[in-house]
Chains A and B, each alone.
Chain A
Amino acid sequence: MTRQKTIVVAMSGGVDSAVAAALLVQQGHRVIGMMLRLWSETGQEAYNRCCTPEAMSLARRCAALLDIPFYPLDVQAPFRKTVVQYFIDGYAQGVTPNPCLLCNRHIRFGLLRQHALALGASHLATGHYARLRRSDHQPVQLLRAIDEDKDQSYILSGLSQEQLASALFPVGELTKTGVREIAEQAGLPMARRADSQDLCFITQGDYRQFLQRHAPQTMNPGPIRDPAGEIIGQHAGLAFYTIGQRRGLGIHHSQPLYVVEKDVERNALVVGQRHNLGRRQLQAAEVNWIAGEPPQDSFPAQVKIRYRAQLAAAQVTPRGHDQVNIHFDEPQRDITPGQLAVIYTEDLCLGGGIIQG
């Protein structure tokens, strides 16, 4: 057994973080459970997807079963100010932001990590599906999870070496089925709890209704144009559409139409046919290279352009410190500005950046 460490586990009331805590307790570490209170929307409390009273009591119950202390940490104000505001601003600017990137960077592996270290912990563990590889005098490497289907390295790609150095992902070496089995064996109350989906602060309905409540300025109607520039309809606000979307455009046309572009300057939604959709090129900015430095030369890689997208073969060319050009072998249908392009070679996550318009 390795020397006993003091480790804070970020618990959510879900099965993954519960098993992460259970594994660390089994390994003989001194484990402290903490739970972030991220969001509570007045009038929507019952529909919150995260940090509900139910999730909080499940996490607390799990901590009691594991005989570890448990503390909630309220971060609602900074969460709103950074993560939710970023989400709203992104939509207001016509892009589709990924708030989880910021949450992991500034809240979970930011504020919570700082509190954990201040408490005297050496590590902050989470229930993310990803792996870390540590070797002496080398940067920490971030690897895809054993369970391909559950891999979450995509949303961890924005973490710094400093953040990764103190991180632990105990369930990254397991399959989801294995995690549920451990939870069952340990008698954890959330063993069969459904996986959380979607963004934690979106309550009832979807992100469109969230924007209506919190950023009504995004409901700015404008023209729908075809690729030639002809106006063929009206849209309800660019925020309500995503690249590649087919349904809900309200246009009758002989061929199926897809959203191919958001022209923010003219507040126009550009729709086209399937063949207008694919692109081979993208530029990403604000790239975080996990090793700390960009690779020197252009290299072949696999790239993921959405959390749930398949890996796609591409040639990656770093430009300067934090920009990258990506050229896909095959056209990609839904390259979406604001989302992350995350770069892999084999299992290794090299880093990621934000797809530019």
Chain B
Amino acid sequence: MATHDPVYFDYAATTPVDSRVVEVMTPFFGVLFGNPSSTHTYGQRAEAAVERARETIAGRLNCDPQEIVFTSGGSESDNLALRGAALAARERRGAYRVLISSVEHHAVSHTAQQLAGRYGFQIELIPVDSHGMADPEQLVSQLGPDVAVVSIILANNEIGTINPLAEIGSHCRRLGIPIHTDAVQAAAHMPLDVTELQVDLLSLGAHKFYGPKGVGLLFVRKDTPLWPILTGGGQEKGLRAGTENVPYIVGMAEALHWVQQEQASRNARLIPWRDRIIEETLTRIPDSRLTGHPVNRLPNHASFVFRHVDGNALLAHLDVAGYACSSGSACKTGSPEPSGVLSALGLPDEWALGSLRVSLGTHTRAEEIEGFLQILPAAVSRIREVAVL
């Protein structure tokens, strides 16, 4: 039974909004409430705030402000990138193949499936190794002029593995094939220089980096052919209609500024804790495995599978004990479907159904880690003791 305040170990699901972010957002609900499209002073001030946010973000991404499109979040950005690039590529050059890795977030994989099922595209999966990493050489063998768009996740939400995007991107860009990456999980923990990453399209969602929910962005490299998926008033250079969500855009820029600014010191604190969780868990819990890459992984992300453990029951036990963790993908129905990502790693169901993700963040404290490591082995063994019929 929990003897302490609940401990939040699910920063990969969402993060609390930084108080500095709340502060800069607040005026835009009140005195600065104008519509950026309006001619008058109210509108001009709102527009100035949106453009200032765009510049701040462009500075962090090392791109031109005009290459930033504001959206409602990571999922919308992924949709715009994939659907928008695929439809434009087919119109321009008749390309019909969509290449994605086998460990993409549903925002990418389900969009690709819709492109295949409803729009006549051909979807091809780029296989990953047992750590969930895509192989650039394998990708090269699948590339060709008929490929409309490639999408590879930068850092995986379920298993934390970081993909070699620069290498993948350079192959794609050499052939003029748009390369998209879902960088939603990566934003809080990695530099996001789009020149170094060699990507044409990059998705972010603010709530994963201490910004508000309901706002995100897509970086669209200049001259990347893209169709809008939300049509209307012509905002965001016609790529995303709808009145700009001014307070949230301002908040996102502030959040990205701080999360990138303070990244090195935060990562230096989180990495030893992450490694301690991994080491202790693997040592003390029989039939346990790390999922994802042992080294090239997010600094705040430890993920496991436990053989013959009901992962959802484990989450309930941990929650009752005062620790908020995840199985890796948010699912509240208790459905026993193994995660597609874990299956792609080649894990059989008896392992894949027992997944646990522990993700740390700015408010994590050392004693929380120690308290958690004291109760986790017992929680796993209690669930294993419940007789399987």
- Physical interaction between A and B: yes
**Which A residues contact B (CB, under 8 angstroms)?**
6, 32, 34-35, 37, 53, 56, 60, 69, 71-74, 76-78, 81-82, 106-107, 110-111, 114-115, 118-120
Contact with A along B309-325 (1 / 0, CB 8 A): 01011011101100000
Select the residue from A37, A69, A74, A120 with max chain B CB neighbours within 10 A: A74
B295 to chain A minimum Cβ distance, whole angstroms, is 34
Are A69 and B320 interface neighbours, CB within 8 A?
A: yes
Q: Contact check, A111 vs B336: say whether CB atoms are below 8 A apart.
A: no
Q: List, in ascending order, chain A residues with CB within 8 A of B383's CB.
A: 115, 118
A contact residues around B319 at 8 Å (CB): 69, 71
Indicate if the CB atoms of A71 and B316 lie closer than 8 Å.
yes
Contacts of B310 in A (CB 8 A): 73-74
Contact A72 B387 (CB under 8 A): no
Q: Is the CB of A118 within 8 A of B389?
A: no
Q: Are A32 and B333 in contact (CB under 8 A)?
A: no
With A71-B319, A72-B312 in contact, do A53 and B385 touch (Cβ < 8 Å)? no
Which A-chain residue is minimally distant from B334 (CB atoms)? A72
Pair B334/A119 contact, Cβ less than 8 Å: no
Number of contacts between A and B (CB, 8 Å)? 63
17 CB-based A-B contacts, threshold 8 Å: A37-B333, A71-B313, A71-B315, A71-B319, A72-B332, A73-B313, A74-B310, A74-B335, A78-B388, A81-B389, A106-B389, A111-B386, A111-B389, A114-B385, A114-B387, A118-B382, A118-B386
- Interface set, chain B 1-23, CB cutoff 8 A to A: 1
Query: CB-CB < 8 A to B315: which residues of A?
Result: 71
Q: Given the complex of chains A and B, what is the CA–CA distance between A148 and B313 in angstroms?
A: 36
A71, B336: Cβ atoms closer than 8 Å: no
Q: Which of B317, B320, B336, B382 contacts A76 (CB 8 A)?
A: B336
Docked Cα-Cα span, A77 to B349, in Å, equals 13
A35 to B312, CA, bound (A): 12
Docked CA distance A176–B316 (Å): 31
**A115 engages B386 (CB within 8 Å):** yes
| A172, chain B: closest CB distance, angstroms | 26
Tell me the nearest residue of chain A to B315, going by C-beta: A71
Q: Shortest CB–CB separation between residue A117 and chain B, in angstroms?
A: 9
From known contacts A37-B334, A56-B333, infer whether A73 and B312 are also in contact, taking CB-CB under 8 Å: yes
CA distance in complex: A32, B312 (Å): 15
Give the most central of B312, B336, B385, B389: most A CB within 10 Å: B389
Once the chains are docked, how many angstroms separate the CA of A34 from the CA of B334? 11
| Min C-beta distance of A271 to chain B, whole Å | 39
Q: Would A53 and B333 be within 8 Å (CB), given that A119-B317, A120-B1 are in contact?
A: yes
Range for the number of chain B residues in contact with chain A: 20 to 34
Q: What's the least CB distance linking B35 to chain A, in Å?
A: 36
Find out whether the CB atom of A71 lies under 8 angstroms from the CB atom of B334.
Answer: yes
A77 vs B350: C-alpha distance when bound (angstroms): 13
Asked whether, in the complex, the Cβ of B388 is within 8 Å of the Cβ of A115, the reply is no
CB distance from A276 to the nearest CB of B (A): 41
Contact code string B289-330 (vs A, CB < 8 Å = 1, else 0): 000000000000000000000101101110110000000000
The listed residue with most B CB atoms (<10 A of its CB), out of A69, A72, A77, A107, is A72
Contact with A along B196-210 (1 / 0, CB 8 A): 000000000000000
Whether A119 lies near B320 (C-beta < 8 A) is yes
Bound: A159/B336 CA distance, A: 28
Which residue of A has the minimal Cβ distance to B311? A74
Q: Which of B335-389 contact A (CB under 8 A)?
A: 335-336, 382-383, 385-389
Quick one: which of A32, A60, A77, A118 contacts B385, CB cutoff 8 A? A118
- Chain A residues near B389: list those with CB within 8 A: 78, 81-82, 106-107, 110-111
17 new A-B contacts, CB < 8 A, other than A37-B334, A118-B382, A119-B320, are A35-B334, A37-B335, A53-B333, A60-B332, A69-B316, A69-B320, A71-B312, A71-B315, A72-B312, A73-B316, A73-B334, A74-B312, A74-B334, A81-B389, A115-B313, A118-B386, A120-B320
CA gap between A107 and B316 in the complex, in Å = 18
A76 and chain B: residue at smallest CB distance:
B336
Q: Closest CB-CB distance, A306 to chain B, in whole Å? A: 27
Contact residues in B for A115 (Cβ distance below 8 Å): 313, 316, 383, 386
Chain B CB count within 10 A is highest, among A6, A77, A119, for: A119
Contacts of B382 in A (CB 8 A): 118
| A82 to B316 Cα, complex, angstroms | 24
Nearest Cβ on chain B to A5's Cβ, whole angstroms: 11
Minimum CB distance partner of A118 in chain B? B382
Cβ of B1: which chain A residues have Cβ within 8 Å of it?
A: 6, 120
Inter-subunit contact A119/B386 (CB<8 Å): no
Measured in the bound complex, the distance between the Cα atoms of B333 and A120 in whole Å is: 23
List residues of chain B with CB within 8 A of the CB of A37. 333-335
Complex Cα gap A93–B376 (Å): 47
Q: How distant is the Cα of A212 from the Cα of B386 in the complex, in angstroms?
A: 34
Evaluate contact between A72 and B386: CB separation under 8 angstroms.
no
B336 touches A34 (CB 8 A): no
In contact, A34 and B320 (Cβ under 8 angstroms): no
Distance, CA A35 to CA B388, complexed state (A) = 18
- Kindly state the separation between the CA atoms of A41 and B335 in the bound complex, as whole angstroms: 13
Contact with A along B174-194 (1 / 0, CB 8 A): 000000000000000000000
Bound complex: CA A120 to CA B388 (Å): 19
Question: For A35, A56, A73, A82, which residue has the most chain B Cβ atoms within 10 angstroms?
Answer: A73
| Docked pose: A78 CA to B387 CA in angstroms | 10
Chain A: CB-nearest residue to B310: A74
- Looking across the interface, which residue of chain B has its beta carbon closest to that of A114? B386
Q: Which residues of A contact B316 (CB under 8 A)?
A: 34, 69, 71, 73, 115, 119
Q: In the complex the two chains form, what is the Cα distance from A71 to B311 in whole Å?
A: 12
- Across chains A and B, which 10 residue pairs bring their CB atoms closest together, nearest first? A72-B334, A71-B316, A78-B389, A118-B382, A114-B386, A74-B334, A74-B336, A37-B334, A120-B1, A119-B320
Cα A114 to Cα B386 in complex, Å, equals 6
In Å, the complex CA distance between A157 and B171 comes to 69
Q: What is the CA–CA distance of A3 and B320 in the complex, to the nearest angstrom? A: 20
Complex CA–CA separation, A194 to B316 (angstroms) = 30
Could you say which residues of chain B place their CB within 8 Å of the CB of A74? 310, 312, 334-336
A69 to B323, alpha carbons, bound, how many Å?
Answer: 13
User: Is the beta-carbon distance between A32 and B386 smaller than 8 angstroms?
Assistant: no
Q: Which residues of the partner chain B approach A81 to less than 8 Å between Cβ atoms?
A: 389
Out of A6, A77, A107, which one reaches B336, CB within 8 Å? A77
Task: For the complex, give the distance between the alpha carbons of A71 and B1 in Å.
Answer: 16
Chain B residue nearest to A60 (CB atoms) is B332
Across-interface contacts of B335 in A (CB, < 8 A): 37, 74
Shortest CB–CB separation between residue A318 and chain B, in angstroms? 30
A119 to B312, CA, bound (A): 13
